[in-house]
Amino acid sequence: MDGDTQLSKFKMWIGGEWVESASGEYFESDNPFLGKPWALIPKGNAQDADRAIRAAHEALTKGPWGKMTATQRGALLRKLGDLIGPESKQLAEVEVRDNGKLFAEMSAQTAYMAQWYYYFGGLADKIEGSVIPIDKPDTFNYTRQEPIGVVVAIIPWNSPLLLTAWKLAPALAAGCTVVIKPSEFTSASTLEFMKLIEQAGFPPGVVNVVTGFGAEVGGPLVEHPLTNKVAFTGSDRTGAMIYQAAAKGMKRVTMELGGKSPNIVFDDAEIDNAVKGVISGIFAATGQTCIAGSRLLVQKSIHDQFVDKLVALAGTAKMGNPMNADTQVGPVTNPPQFRKILDYLDIAKGEGANPVLGGSKANRPECGDGWFVEPTIFTGVNNRMRIAQEEVFGPVLSVIPFEDEDQAIEIGNDVVFGLAAGVWTQNMRRAFKMAERLQAGTVWVNTYRAVSYLSPFGGYKKSGIGRESGQDMIREYLQTKSVWISLATEVPNPFVLR
């Protein structure tokens, strides 16, 4: 990569070629820590979207990809996993420049994402149909699991490469072809990753990347008649728009959307561990994560003690350059999100919430000209406030007291979202009952913010449709075909349903 004094220029990856946009135009990608551009990204349009979809369709229907065995596809995925390891730190550096998250976290993510390609590479030739003991005489009936077709994967700006892996690995294992549309705020790392796709030897058109803005690229990709499925991660508002557009073409969707997750601390919890867990849930990744534990529900009997410990520890968080090993809170990724968070701070104060920590833009010298928000904790919050109901997607925590398990469940479930929840208790009966009653796709007990390629991830309610990771994920990219073979020597009455 070029130095910060000269903007790095990237190209799109379509049909196995590095190409400029049809218009030849570029847009700037900003470094959130420096608050200034560092890269030039191709500004795609509907023509580029059409070219990518057609390349993916041709790769599926006419190219070598559709003729490969599942074992061969799996071998390519595992080879890709092998290529990731040596390049993971360099990929992480690109992500940090683009989204401002900590290098410590991004480098761990880029290294860990190889496991998705290994896992689904191994699963590729374990996809099986079934022979059905059908109730018709002289008839053999079996099922086939076939790729759903061309997949459009729309990736958010907070963890681009990891969330790409969550979609790309199972889609390729299933035999689909993919067009990736990264966020306009963080396209560079996805384009950089395509060098590994090229090196691994995937046939042309199997994986494509079109960069640009939602209306100009995302819409045409979703609405294209050759698109068979859309896999999206992002806000519930954008997800609803994509869902509506996909429905017009009867396209399949999986969606991982927003969250307003409760992190629930009972009075029998290991307090110091729970404090760390709450901080991890909201201030790690600068709160820019769908699973953020943005609502702290703490039992009234320990409310003041817990908040004091929480404020004391959170107040020591070191802000600054995300590339530094000792930085704990980095910048907000982009100016619109920065302004949104600051607006919510004003909204919370206007509703009567009390900022016991932070509550403003960060003006520390170590933050330079970047888009930093002070880690913020609000007390005096009730669950009807906007700050408790709407996704802020930043380092902003609402503290809400509760009396007992029933009230914790009532408050915890009283939102339109249901992505995740945390429970801190030493009572295992309580842990199991809370996990059962909470309306969330993931419930963590005495931990928070843990994910794995082995375990399904997704949301209840407005937090999404379908699941990512785990064995069932591959079926999101497959369709079932039933095959009937008659063994009869004579065709029965043709006017009667068999």
Residues forming the active site: 256, 290
What are the angstrom distances between the C-alpha of 161 and each of 126, 322, 490?
A: 25, 17, 58
Are 319 and 18 in contact by the 8 Å Cβ rule? The answer is: no
Structure tokens, 498: 């068999």
Task: Give the span between the Cα atoms of 450 and 113, in whole angstroms.
Answer: 14
Residue 444 CA to residue 457 CA, distance in Å, equals 12
Question: Residue 137 and residue 43: Cα distance in Å, rounded?
Answer: 60
- Tell me the C-alpha distance between 97 and 129, whole Å: 45
Eight-state DSSP code of residue 84? H
**Length of the chain as a residue count:** 498
Structure tokens at 290: 């769908």
Distance CA 306, CA 379 (A): 12
3 state SS of 221 = helix
**Between β-strands 478-486 and 139-147, what pairing exists: parallel, antiparallel or unpaired?**
antiparallel
Q: Pairing state of beta strands 417-418 and 460-461? A: antiparallel
Strands 396-402 and 295-299: parallel
Collapsed DSSP state (helix, strand, coil) of residue 357: strand
Tokens of 332: 């907000």
| 34 contacts 322 by C-beta, under 8 angstroms | no
Q: Which residues pair with 301 in a beta bridge?
A: none
φ/ψ of residue 83, rounded to 5: -75, -25
E strand segments, 367-489? 376-379, 396-402, 417-418, 420-424, 442-445, 460-461, 464-465, 478-486
Report DSSP state, residue 318: P
The residue among 239, 366, 289 whose CA lies nearest residue 99 is 289
